A and B are shown apart, each in its own frame.
Chain A
């Protein structure tokens, strides 16, 4: 299966990328691990793909009390990052290990995955629980958007036509915090039927988020995450009913909180 006819351009700078993205049916291509499969299925038929893989938006570093991850950082690079070897950020590595497969992790980028906004994608739950922010750039300039405000529905985000993600910024949790991500995957696709991420601090649960159970990942905001889950809108499909997903999510929330709490003991 091959994609519909398309043109290809490699952006040499952000400004160059913006110029290319002025074409209405253009699409940003990073690692291509989400976009190329849907182009092969002809679900996506862009007129132009703008390859941004050569832009300098890669790398992981801690600046002050924030973790900065370049949008073009691959899953594989995240797995190797020493910066993530702390209990408070353990959910990130735990989540990445379960994403796709070796080949997909070698090419797939964190920014590309977020922009694709598959409702069963794993990482959004983790970033929601960690309270992450996305740095966006467009010809109009820069803006920061909380991950909680980024997803607008299945495969839909707050990105405007010429806008791209440049960095993911995670505030370093307070000392003594732990985080965790647990999911139950569909055995064939590997996507989450339900996934839950939790951040637990010394004073108790900070944030819990779920993915795979609705049109977009969501933060369970009220005091008790289980109560919030009871009230949440959950969807069902041929793989799992809404009832089953709600039950699954409830179990996964409990496990994520327990594991994150366990990890608080390991953080100085």
Chain B
């Protein structure tokens, strides 16, 4: 049985019909064609499906799509604007924060949440924040570096 659902995704109102058991990640990927949220595990652990819900990082595989009605959803697709990468995206490129790239959208959105509250996090804070995002390529060193550098750049551009 399908239910009508209105979602606000990346600033746009989108309508779709979902089964009540549909997880948000499936609604985004299969319903709206936003395939930047990846499915890396079946157990709510890997964080590849991370999106922002009202600015906070959440695992879109651990939320029914219907639960997200009324919230503002931000996916990786909306981070770049006018062909310009977001500073966090650019920092991941410049600091080799990714290899295969599968976990990257989730990591970047978790980092977005973190830096929005703590513009100058310690390495410990960065690592603690990444606990829900698994990367099986990099060993995290370059990811931590990417987030640290992105924070510095974002602080700089706000300050001046």
Known: A8-B64, A106-B58. A1 touches B3 (CB 8 A): no
Distance between Cα atoms of A2 and B44 in the complex (Å): 12
Across-interface contacts of A49 in B (CB, < 8 A): 20, 64
Find out whether the CB atom of B42 lies under 8 angstroms from the CB atom of A103.
Answer: no
8 Å CB contact of A5 from B21, B47, B62: B21
Nearest-neighbour CB distance to chain A for B65, whole angstroms, equals: 9
- Count: A-B pairs, CB below 8 Å: 90
Which residues of A, 37-54, contact B by the 8 Å Cβ criterion? 37, 39-41, 49, 51, 53
Find out whether the CB atom of A103 lies under 8 angstroms from the CB atom of B50.
Answer: yes
Nearest-neighbour CB distance to chain B for A53, whole angstroms, equals: 7
Nearest-neighbour CB distance to chain A for B128, whole angstroms, equals: 8
Across-interface contacts of B69 in A (CB, < 8 A): 10
Distance between Cα atoms of A56 and B132 in the complex (Å): 28
Task: Give the interface SS of chain B, mostly helix, strand, loop or mixed.
Answer: mixed
Interface residues on A, range: 20 to 34
- A4 close to chain B: CB less than 8 A: yes
Find out whether the CB atom of B22 lies under 8 angstroms from the CB atom of A2.
Answer: yes
- A62 close to chain B: CB less than 8 A: no
Nearest-neighbour CB distance to chain B for A85, whole angstroms, equals: 17
8 Å CB contact of B21 from A2, A51, A190: A2
Nearest-neighbour CB distance to chain B for A189, whole angstroms, equals: 9
Known: A32-B62, A102-B113, A103-B57; 8 extra A-B contacts, CB below 8 A, are A2-B26, A4-B21, A8-B3, A37-B62, A40-B43, A102-B130, A107-B53, A107-B63
Binding site for A on B (CB under 8 A): 1, 3, 19-23, 26, 42-44, 47, 50, 53, 56-59, 61-64, 66-67, 69, 110, 113-114, 128-133
